């Protein structure tokens, strides 16, 4: 593959151009991750249809009747085209909108990327996303097979070589002592492209040993297709990779296949469960499906594929591999997302060491390779506490022998829950330094030297009986993964339904250490609370006073010494985020993370598994989001960026960012579809929402700019290119920024999206004011919201039915609009789709009173109505044009003026690489270029 052999040589040459420096940036962790797939030219998201046909109300206001009437236009028995409505469709009671998800069926086989999401209210379709295949089942395979994997890698390699050559030329003419900002960003681009290339393109074409037969022959045995995928997915250092490539028969015969029924809505097909697959940590699920693949001639064809769900130690993949020989990877989404330390340094830093560009398939030393301390290493699951009979007589949490009894009082429990207390850095403060600064301001102790723990406070469990009806430390015995059959039978014999624990183990979150960095977690260590308060509630108060050490092993021993405080903080922050997200619509039906759902819909058994001080790396964090009903996994790491080591568990913004991956993935495209935010702008927005919500949580009524991850990374600017700021001199990001060096990865794409949201947020705060709390008031025992200053006055429809409550302040309102927008937007949204969805959320909730503020905020950063993109690729490439115009209905309002035209040579970008193809209106267009099948459709 062109470009692969030049990476190391070019980087070595670049290093020779840079001077040595005494304090190099810390070595970044880069997890190998695959992610690419076809960009569908016919996919659309309609919010303002040109015609009312199909959008007008039908005789019934039942949203499912409305949906079926609309979907009937997509049915054609003559070509085998049908659909099924997925079981995860639901009504959002925070907005009154019903979200219905349909999957296309052609010839009795589901189309894996054939989605329609319908948003329906009061018998009317508000909007819909549509990526259904417009034709029928193919009679045969026509033409040469399309190889999206190879095309993707070819584009990456071309871009990488181009940027390497540009940087070498610029270093030859630049001063040797420092690097310009443009050079550092070009290095970022090279680093990102190198990582993408190494991760995705190490094995593109399977060796002959992995298939036998003629080209285009259909191979319905999924095992060889799976090994083709594993050959690309396994890290280069994995001990089984060589055997997979050279002697696949060794594994094929050992992979066991068990048939199972695969259900999607009311459509049933035969799938397989594959066990004993090399490099996996669990069973692999597979079934046959269609996938849509664009061709160079402008058409789209259906490709028969084996669709796999593959859980590995550091990845959780949804992949499709062609059933036709030779097997080709068509698409892959990694359900794991992370927040790595960036390659580039601060303004004062010079070129990173060559080791910073370590190949993505290589493993760096993990925490478990460092000497372990002897403190508290016994496993602790948490134990059931309290005499249930005494508790019942005193009015505490009662026992229940039948699940139906519990459902009777959901969502509000009948008995008072004793709320635990925690000594933690309070919610709303981002990190130990910010917590200290805010406490000093309140107490007037500015300028005094304080320990790192000074900002901690005794905080109570939130006690939101709507979001967490039985508190944070209680869950049913039947839903507790640590309870074996004997313990469950004993609990049933005692007539006990609930299990109250005295550790960081509950219905929403399981928090614990994971020093070994291993997949197992149930028996990991957790701190126990102490019953020292007058009301018998538990107190989680542990020392935290790290100091600078001389050696790495001493730093590690010290970090482990304070693991109780670390896990308690992670448990507290994660539960606060759960309850916050719940109150804005991330409920059980919407796919949230809970072991028990109180009979309120959705799939249960999926509380977040939260690993503190995970031993699989440093300077990172990640979150895995499988479909609803499977546990989310959050892994937080130590950051060896300062002495003492900084613990990512203590930086709330990083924790919230990771948990927000679960939020956006489950809401976009529906709870059981985790493949909608895989790459490009969609994958970037998955990162951007996390940054935005994490920054919003720490905001106060006194405006400030905020960097992301600054404390953990020990960098003033944090782990992004710029702090989030209204000042374009501080953060110049616009839509066109996505075309500049260093912005071809999801994190860089995401920070542009987060900056846009930050600008829109400030406009709504200017209009509606600021709320000191993001949390709505808790309902009373009858489920009624008390009088408050959080919501707008209650409104009613023409029949006297109360309408959904709407937050009244700018920060709370915009958080609601952003989260509601996630539910409205289609699978694989673009920036334009997500902007449309936010605007429609405002229309649905406020009647559109904030449309012009929202348009002005987006237009200020180049995403106005006249913004444009052509040639989008799965890795974020394309040619974008800023648009500074607002919607025509806002022309009477004050809005940013459109900048005067610049130098025409600027069309060539920072490298002199001109894009000559424009239409008659001066807009960029894509020519018919061989090898760019996606580009022809934009």
pLDDT of 165 reads: 84
Most confident stretch, 213-227, 738-752, 770-784, 799-813: 799-813
- Where is pLDDT greater, at 390 or 748? 748
Here the tokens at position 49 are: 């249809």
Confidence tier at 929 by pLDDT (50, 70, 90):
very low
Across the chain, mean pLDDT equals: 83
Mean pLDDT of 202-210: 76
pLDDT of 714 reads: 96
Mean pLDDT of 474-493: 96
Beta-carbon contacts of residue 38 (< 8 Å; ≥ 6 apart): 113, 148, 291, 292, 293, 294, 330, 331, 874, 933, 934
Residue 738 has pLDDT above 50, yes or no: yes
- Angstrom distance (rounded) from CA 450 to CA 437: 10
Least confident of 53-57, 656-660, 692-696, 785-789: 53-57
Confidence tier at 16 by pLDDT (50, 70, 90):
very low
DSSP 283: P
Hey, which residues does 863 pair with through a beta bridge? 883
pLDDT of 517 reads: 92
Q: Considering the chain, what percentage of its residues have pLDDT values greater than 90?
A: 61
For the stretch 815-837, pLDDT in tens is 999 999 999 999 999 999 999 99
**The 3-state secondary structure of 726-756, one letter per residue:** CCCCCCCCCHHHHHCCCCCCHHHHHHHHHHH
Residue-range domains of the chain with CATH: 7-38+144-357 (no CATH), 44-130 (3.10.450), 367-636 (3.10.170.10), 735-937 (1.10.390)
Mean pLDDT of 711-735: 96
Residue 181 has pLDDT above 80, yes or no: no
Least confident of 124-133, 243-252, 275-284, 365-374: 365-374
For the stretch 134-156, pLDDT in tens is 988 886 666 678 888 998 898 88
- Angstrom distance (rounded) from CA 382 to CA 506: 10
Tallying the residues shown for the chain, one arrives at: 938
Least confident of 267-271, 388-392, 582-586: 388-392
- Angstrom distance (rounded) from CA 643 to CA 872: 43
For the stretch 289-304, pLDDT in tens is 999 999 888 889 999 9
pLDDT of 244 reads: 87
Here the tokens at position 716 are: 């003033």
- Where is pLDDT greater, at 208 or 491? 491
- Angstrom distance (rounded) from CA 835 to CA 817: 11
pLDDT of 371 reads: 31
Hey, which residues does 540 pair with through a beta bridge? 422
Least confident of 21-25, 377-381, 555-559, 615-619: 21-25
Q: Tell me the three state secondary structure of residue 424.
A: strand
Residue 286 has pLDDT above 90, yes or no: yes
Least confident of 322-336, 397-411, 677-691: 397-411
Q: Considering the chain, what percentage of its residues have pLDDT values greater than 70?
A: 80
- Angstrom distance (rounded) from CA 593 to CA 586: 9
Residue 167 has pLDDT above 60, yes or no: yes
Q: 699: left (phi > 0), else alpha (psi -120 to 50), else beta? A: beta
871: nearest Cα among 931, 825, 829: 931
Mean pLDDT of 261-280: 92
Mean pLDDT of 268-287: 94
Hey, which residues does 97 pair with through a beta bridge? 92
Confidence tier at 472 by pLDDT (50, 70, 90):
very high
- Where is pLDDT greater, at 205 or 599? 599
- Angstrom distance (rounded) from CA 760 to CA 835: 11
pLDDT of 398 reads: 31
**Contact of 823 with 97, CB cutoff 8 Å:** yes
Confidence tier at 172 by pLDDT (50, 70, 90):
confident
Enter the pTM of the model. 0.87
Confidence tier at 359 by pLDDT (50, 70, 90):
very low
779: nearest Cα among 583, 516, 519, 515: 583
Residue 471 has pLDDT above 90, yes or no: yes
Most confident stretch, 69-78, 443-452, 798-807: 69-78
Mean pLDDT of 609-618: 96
Residue 607 has pLDDT above 90, yes or no: yes
* Residues with catalytic function: 658
**Contact of 326 with 215, CB cutoff 8 Å:** yes
pLDDT of 31 reads: 84
- Angstrom distance (rounded) from CA 147 to CA 213: 18
Bond preceding residue 470 cis, omega within 30 of 0: no
Residue 211 has pLDDT above 50, yes or no: yes
Mean pLDDT of 849-866: 98
pLDDT of 368 reads: 30
- Angstrom distance (rounded) from CA 608 to CA 593: 6
Q: Tell me the three state secondary structure of residue 480.
A: coil
Least confident of 87-91, 440-444, 471-475: 440-444
Residue 795 has pLDDT above 70, yes or no: yes
């Amino acid at each position: 593959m062109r470009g692969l052999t030049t990476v190391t040589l070019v980087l070595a040459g670049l290093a020779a151009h840079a001077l040595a420096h005494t304090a190099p940036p810390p070595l970044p962790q880069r997890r190998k991750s695959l992610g690419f797939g076809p960009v569908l030219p016919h996919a659309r998201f309609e919010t303002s249809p040109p015609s009312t046909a199909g959008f007008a109300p039908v005789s019934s206001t039942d949203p499912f009747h409305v949906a079926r009437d609309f979907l009937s236009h997509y049915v054609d028995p003559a070509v085998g085209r049908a659909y099924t409505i997925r079981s995860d469709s639901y009504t959002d009671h925070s907005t009154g909108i019903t979200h219905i998800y349909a999957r296309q069926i052609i010839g009795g086989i589901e189309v894996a990327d054939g989605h329609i999401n319908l948003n329906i209210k009061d018998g009317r379709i508000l909007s819909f996303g549509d990526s259904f295949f417009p034709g029928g089942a193919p009679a045969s395979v026509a033409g040469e097979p399309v190889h999206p994997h190879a095309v993707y890698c070819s584009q990456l390699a071309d871009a990488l070589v181009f940027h390497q050559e540009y940087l070498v030329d610029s270093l030859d003419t630049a001063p040797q002592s420092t690097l310009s900002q443009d050079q550092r960003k070009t290095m970022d681009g090279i680093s990102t492209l190198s990582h993408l290339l190494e991760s995705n393109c190490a094995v593109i074409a399977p060796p002959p040993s992995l298939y036998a037969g003629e080209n285009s022959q259909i191979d319905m045995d999924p095992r060889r297709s799976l090994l083709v995928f594993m050959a690309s997915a396994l890290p280069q250092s994995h001990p089984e990779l060589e055997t997979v490539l050279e002697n696949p028969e060794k594994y094929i015969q050992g992979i066991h296949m068990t048939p199972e029924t695969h259900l999607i809505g009311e459509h049933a097909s035969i799938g397989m469960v594959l066990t004993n697959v090399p490099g996996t940590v669990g069973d692999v699920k597979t079934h046959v499906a269609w996938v849509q693949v664009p061709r160079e001639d402008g058409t789209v064809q259906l490709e028969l594929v084996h669709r796999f769900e593959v859980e590995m130690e550091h990845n959780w993949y949804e992949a499709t591999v062609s059933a036709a020989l030779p097997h080709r990877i068509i698409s892959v989404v990694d359900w794991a997302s992370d927040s790595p330390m960036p390659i580039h340094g601060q303004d004062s830093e010079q070129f990173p060491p060559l080791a910073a560009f370590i190949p993505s398939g290589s493993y760096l030393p993990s925490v478990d390779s460092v000497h372990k301390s002897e403190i508290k290493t016994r496993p602790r699951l948490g134990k059931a506490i309290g005499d249930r009979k005494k508790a019942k007589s005193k009015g505490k949490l009662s026992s229940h022998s039948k699940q139906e009894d519990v459902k009777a009082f959901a969502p509000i429990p009948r008995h008072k829950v004793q709320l635990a207390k925690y000594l933690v850095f309070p919610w709303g403060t981002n990190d130990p330094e910010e917590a200290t600064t805010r406490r000093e301001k309140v107490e007037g102790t500015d300028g005094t030297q304080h320990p790192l723990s000074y900002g901690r406070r005794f905080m109570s469990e939130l006690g939101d009986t709507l979001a967490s009806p039985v508190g944070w430390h209680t869950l049913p015995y039947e839903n507790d993964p640590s309870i074996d059959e004997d313990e469950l039978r004993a609990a049933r014999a005692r007539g006990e339904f609930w299990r109250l624990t005295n550790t960081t183990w509950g219905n929403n979150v399981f928090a614990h250490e994971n020093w070994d960095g291993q997949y197992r977690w149930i028996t990991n260590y957790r701190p126990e609370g102490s019953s020292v308060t007058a009301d018998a509630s538990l107190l989680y108060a542990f020392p935290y006073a790290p100091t600078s050490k001389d050696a790495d092993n001493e730093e590690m021993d010290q970090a482990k010494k304070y693991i109780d405080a670390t896990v308690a903080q992670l448990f507290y922050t994660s539960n606060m985020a759960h309850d916050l997200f719940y109150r804005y619509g991330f409920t059980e039906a919407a796919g949230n993370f809970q072991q028990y759902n109180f009979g309120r819909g959705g799939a249960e058994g999926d509380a977040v598994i939260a690993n503190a001080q995970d031993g699989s790396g440093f300077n990172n964090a990640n979150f895995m989001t499988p479909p609803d009903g499977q546990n989310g996994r959050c892994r937080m790491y130590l950051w060896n960026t300062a002495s003492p080591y900084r613990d990512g568990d203590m930086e709330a913004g990083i924790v919230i960012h990771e948990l927000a991956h679960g939020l956006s993935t489950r809401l976009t495209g529906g709870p059981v579809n985790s493949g909608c935010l895989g790459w490009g702008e969609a994958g970037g927005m998955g990162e951007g929402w996390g940054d935005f919500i994490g920054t919003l949580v720490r905001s106060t009524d006194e405006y400030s700019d905020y960097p992301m991850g600054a404390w953990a990374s020990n960098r003033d600017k944090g782990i992004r290119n710029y702090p989030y700021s209204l000042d374009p001199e501080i953060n110049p990001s616009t839509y066109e920024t996505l075309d500049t060096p260093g912005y071809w990865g999801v994190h860089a794409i995401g920070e542009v999206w987060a900056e846009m949201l930050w600008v829109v947020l400030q406009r709504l705060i200017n209009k509606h004011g600021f709320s000191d709390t993001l949390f709505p008031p808790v309902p009373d025992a009858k489920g009624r919201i008390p009088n408050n200053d959080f919501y707008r006055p209650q409104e009613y429809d023409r029949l006297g039915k109360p309408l959904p409550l709407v937050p009244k302040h700018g920060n709370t309102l915009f958080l609601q609009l952003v989260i509601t927008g996630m539910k409205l937007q289609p699978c694989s949204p673009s920036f334009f789709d997500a902007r449309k969805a936010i605007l429609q959320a405002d229309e649905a909730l406020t009647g559109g009173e904030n449309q012009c503020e929202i348009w002005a905020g987006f237009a200020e950063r180049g995403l106005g109505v006249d913004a444009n993109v052509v040639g989008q690729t799965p890795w974020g490439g394309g040619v974008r044009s800023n648009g500074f115009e607002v919607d025509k209905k806002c022309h009477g309002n004050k809005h940013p003026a459109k900048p005067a035209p610049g130098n025409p040579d600027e069309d060539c970008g920072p490298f002199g690489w001109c894009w000559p193809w424009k239409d008659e209106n001066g807009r960029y267009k894509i020519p018919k270029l061989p090898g760019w099948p996606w580009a022809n459709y934009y």
